[in-house]
């Protein structure tokens, strides 16, 4: 949009990509307690660099392992040219114990200077010789977001530990798995650079637009309608209300399909209860003009 031009779009039903943890929530949401229970998934990233091999071709994620009953690890490929991600990695250093982690990291650098230097010398083909181990857990841990005023008077989102188990600063099973894999393929283990200061890298943030029965307890109702804003819906990962411990794409899709299945056809009455009313189960609505033909394998089948 060019400066000085204001565009207005009008629609009866609207979708808002609120984004996980509310990064794109409008100001009306940030000024209310709408960041609660955000970021409830807790993945971490660990990498190992591979020498003399090309790992960038093929499907990104093809398999997974479960080193224990709460940890899930997926090997991930990055496409050729995705080398800047390497700047977020460093020599793997375990946490825990009385010695500060940053000090243990410095000792690792002194013990393995060539390993540390190899990252920057070989950054131009990092994605081709690296396998990423994406680590996810089903622990019930979370971050709570809250509005905070800056020194210039603006409102920004800040975070603190939420309910459940405290967010781990390192996952021993992940480090052990990566070191084992590195030995098997003659590689070297790496981890995210923030872990030096016990700040792990987290992906797949979920939550921020809590599903609830009233605006005092959340952002959207069980039909994904935003309280106080008729016609506005949130379907993305911000509406996922629990840590599912895996990639959330299918869960987001399932929730979106369920919510849109209740939308009325144009000109028909809305079978959903009025906003603010108590929840009760209703039947999905058969679309008059489905996007996928009825004879196609992926045709809509309502039950």
* Enzyme catalytic residues: 204
- Separation CA 144–CA 42 (nearest Å): 13
- Separation CA 115–CA 159 (nearest Å): 35
What's the token pair of residue 14? 């609207």
Closest CA to 54 of 183, 180, 178, 185: 185
Reported for 282-291, long-range contacts at CB under 8 A and 24+ positions apart, including other chains, are 285/261
- Separation CA 23–CA 145 (nearest Å): 10
Closest CA to 299 of 251, 289, 281: 289
What's the token pair of residue 76? 């991930």
Question: What CA–CA distances, in Å, run from 63 to 59, 60, 77, 185?
Answer: 10, 10, 11, 17
| Cα angle for residues 263, 267, 270 (degrees, 5° grid) | 40
CA 39 to centroid of chain Cα atoms: 7
**Orientation of helix 113-121 relative to helix 101-111, angle to 10°:** 90
């Amino acid at each position: 949009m060019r400066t000085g031009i204001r565009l207005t779009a009008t629609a009866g039903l609207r979708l808002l990509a609120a984004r996980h943890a509310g990064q794109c929530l409008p100001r009306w949401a940030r000024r209310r307690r709408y960041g609660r229970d955000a970021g409830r998934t807790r993945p971490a990233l660990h990498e190992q660099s591979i020498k003399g091999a090309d790992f960038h071709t093929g499907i990104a994620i093809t398999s997974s392992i479960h080193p224990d009953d709460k940890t899930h690890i997926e090997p991930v490929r990055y496409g050729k040219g995705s080398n800047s991600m390497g700047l977020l990695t460093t020599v793997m250093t375990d946490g825990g114990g009385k010695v500060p982690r940053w000090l243990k990291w410095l000792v690792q650098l002194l013990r393995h200077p060539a390993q540390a230097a190899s990252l920057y010398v070989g950054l131009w083909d990092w994605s081709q010789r690296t396998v990423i181990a994406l680590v996810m857990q089903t622990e019930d841990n979370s971050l709570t977001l809250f509005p905070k005023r800056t020194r210039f008077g603006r409102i920004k989102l800040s975070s603190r530990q939420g309910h459940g188990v405290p967010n781990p600063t390192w996952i021993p099973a992940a480090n052990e798995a990566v070191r084992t894999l590195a030995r098997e393929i003659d590689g070297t283990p790496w981890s995210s650079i923030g872990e030096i200061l016990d700040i792990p890298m987290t992906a797949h943030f979920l939550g921020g637009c809590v599903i609830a029965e009233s605006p005092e307890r959340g952002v959207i109702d069980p039909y994904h309608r935003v309280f106080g804003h008729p016609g506005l819906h949130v379907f993305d990962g911000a509406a996922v209300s629990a840590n599912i411990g895996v990639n959330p794409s299918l869960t987001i899709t399932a929730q979106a399909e369920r919510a849109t299945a209740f939308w009325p056809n144009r000109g028909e009455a809305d079978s959903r209860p009025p906003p603010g009313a108590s929840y009760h189960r209703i039947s999905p609505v058969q679309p008059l003009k489905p996007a996928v033909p009825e004879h196609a394998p992926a045709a809509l089948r309502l039950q």
